[in-house]
Amino acid sequence: MSEGEMAIIKPEMMKSYIWLETADGSIQQVEQEVAMFCPMICQEVIQKGVGSSKNYAISLPQRVNPAMLSLIFDYCRFHQVPGRSNKERKVYDEKFIRMDTKRLCELTSAADSLQLKPLVDLTSRALARIIEGKTPEEIREIFHLPDDLTEEEKLEPLKNTMDDPRIRLLNRLYAKKRKELKEREKLKSVEVEEHVDERSVDDLLSFINGRDPKVVKTSKSKKKNKKRKEQKNGSSNGTCEALEKDLHNLDSKSQSAEIVDNTASCLGDVSNLPSMEDDIFTPKTEFEDGYIDDEIDPALKELLDREVEDFARRLNSSWVLSIGQERQPVNFSINGNGTSRRLTGPAAGHK
């Protein structure tokens, strides 16, 4: 404001000024070379010819309030001076971003709306540094994020971007099943010898997918390794094995059903789903570092996956189909490994 008054007192000043109006209606003027540092303002001046007088002030985007604007012009004023060394600029920038996170966010937003890329990068980097390496709880506290995800949701796969009611239904079932299983878990203890041989399915898949035989071979040898690993693991974890056998039966049943159908897309539907959920689940498990692991036995989760998968098949949902098409054929053969991989991963994570 005071700057504006000053300019009225000395209208004959040699320096040219740009008039700007913020969303709250206040008008101010700024040295041209400083204001023109913001591409958005520069465009307005050049393309629309506005900003040269108070009546034709450039109206700034809503995200820029007067406080942020003056901060931004401080930044521009420093950087528009030529001949400063990189070190000087760095030191200034470091000092400049020392502010609370709320203001930092506001500033980022304001700079973004003025298309001032270097400042957006600077503040984004500062925000990233704040987030880096912190736990979700810490981040929520710093940014006042609502903790509006239930524990179930945090465990759930992150897949339902599109708000499909069928998927929500699926998730609800998934959550319910998981609870049930958690209770059943205590009663269960069975011992069965495990034996997995999915080679025929694998061969079929590679036939359907028309894969280069060389690659199929490598994926097979890989599978052998996996199997060996699994057997080692198995002896230490009877429950898992038992469940796994059940699952395997389930698995082969569903697979034989598919073979009858004998269309690649159908195979895609069903066999993709569990591996996908698994993949979604795994990273999160690792993120939470044990805190989820303790809650749900991977084998139980596996069983859940199967049930959900059955449900999904019944739905014959177009959503699953579309994902199946996105994926590459070779993934199917990986899915053949799915069972073992799922077990080795989280189980070993406990060690």
Residue numbers of the site for another protein (CB under 8 A)?
101-102, 105-106, 108-109, 112, 120-121, 124-125, 127-129, 131-133, 136, 139-141, 143-149, 153-154, 158-159, 161, 215, 218-219, 222, 225, 229, 276, 278-280, 282-284, 286-289, 323, 327-328, 330-331, 334, 341, 344-345, 348-349, 351
State the minimum distance, in angstroms, from the CB of residue 121 to another protein.
7
Q: Among residues 14, 74, 19, 67, which one has the least CA distance to residue 41? A: 19
Instruction: Name the helix (H) or strand (E) containing 121.
Output: helix 117-131
Nearest CA-CA partner of 181 in 136, 243, 236, 95: 243
Q: Residue 147 — φ and ψ, nearest 5°?
A: -90, 70
Q: Which of 32, 331 has the CB closer to another protein?
A: 331
258 by DSSP, 3-state: which? helix
Give the torsion sign (CA, 332, 235, 285, 295): positive
Q: Which is nearer to another protein, 25 or 133 (CB)?
A: 133
Q: Running DSSP on this structure, what letter comes out for residue 24?
A: T
Q: Under a CB-based contact definition with an 8 Å cutoff, are residues 258 and 313 in contact?
A: no
Least Å from the CB of residue 173 to another protein: 20
Q: Please report how close the Cβ of residue 148 comes to another protein at its closest, in angstroms.
A: 5
- Closer residue to another protein, CB minimum distance, 77 or 284: 284
At closest approach, how far in Å is the CB of 184 from another protein?
A: 26
SS3 content of the chain, % helix, strand, coil (to 5): 70, 5, 30
Report helix, strand or coil for 134. coil
What is the smallest separation between the CB atom of 138 and another protein, expressed in angstroms?
10
Which is closer to another protein, CB of 31 or CB of 297? 297
Nearer to another protein, 102 or 184 (CB): 102
Single-letter amino acid code for the residue at 196:
V
Nearer to another protein, 31 or 277 (CB): 277
**Least distance CB 43 / another protein (angstroms):** 18
Please state, in angstroms and rounded to a whole number, the distance separating the CA atoms of residues 235 and 243. Answer: 14
Write down the least CB distance from residue 175 to another protein, Å. Answer: 16
Q: Is 302 exposed, middle or buried (0-12, 13-18, 19+ CB in 10 A)?
A: buried
- Dist CA 338 CA 341 (whole Å): 5
Which residue lies nearer to another protein by CB, 80 or 124?
A: 124
d(CA 262, CA 196): 22
Output the smallest distance, CB 182 to another protein, in A: 20
> Could you give phi then psi for residue 210, rounded to 5 degrees?
60, 45
Smallest gap from Cβ 92 to another protein, in A, equals: 20
Maximum Cα interatomic distance, the chain, rounded to a whole number of Å? 95
Closer residue to another protein in complex, CB, 52/233: 233
Nearer to another protein, 185 or 288 (CB): 288
The sign one gets for the Cα dihedral 233, 239, 242, 243 is negative
CA nearest 276: which of 234, 318, 338? 338
